[in-house]
Amino acid sequence: GAGVSQTPSNKVTEKGKYVELRCDPISGHTALYWYRQSLGQGPEFLIYFQGTGAADDSGLPNDRFFAVRPEGSVSTLKIQRTERGDSAVYLCASSLGPSLARANYGYTFGSGTRLTVV
């Protein structure tokens, strides 16, 4: 597709439930990022994939959060035992490669999944 697609756009779940958030990056983009944006805040880094592997997962807040990208394209962010504090917009972004500065291109973000834990 022309842009980064994230599904669902909205997700309401009960505390303690498991959720999966999906990201379809731009075709050919090898780098994929997940960020979390709380209301009134800037996006916070969660995890970065280069190809199929997680090159940097240091932003994941705890072991309830996990992400995969098995074929180097679509990625899924998984949250176990959701808590009310997990409520936020989860943004996915992709880029042609990891070197934004060298090529002077930026990420392309999707519109995000708004997760509400009640």
Partner 1 sequence: QQQVKQSPQSLIVQKGGISIINCAYENTAFDYFPWYQQFPGKGPALLIAIRPDVSEKKEGRFTISFNKSAKQFSLHIMDSQPGDSATYFCAASKETSGSRLTFGEGTQLTVNP
Question: Which residues would be at the binding site for partner 1 (CB under 8 A)?
Answer: 4, 31, 33, 35, 40-45, 48, 50, 55-56, 59, 91, 93, 95, 98-102, 104-112
| CA atoms within 13 Å, Cβ hemisphere of 78 | 10
| Cβ closest to partner 1, residue 2 vs residue 101 | 101
Residues 62, 46 contacting (CB under 8 angstroms) = no
Question: Shortest gap between Cβ of 91 and partner 1 (angstroms)?
Answer: 5
Q: What distances in angstroms separate CA 102 from CA 23, 45, 98, 107, one per listed residue?
A: 25, 21, 9, 13
Comparison of 16 and 97: residue with beta carbon closer to partner 1: 97
How far apart CA 86 and CA 23 sit, in angstroms, is 18
C-beta closer to partner 1: residue 65 or 107: 107
CB 81 to partner 1: min, Å: 26
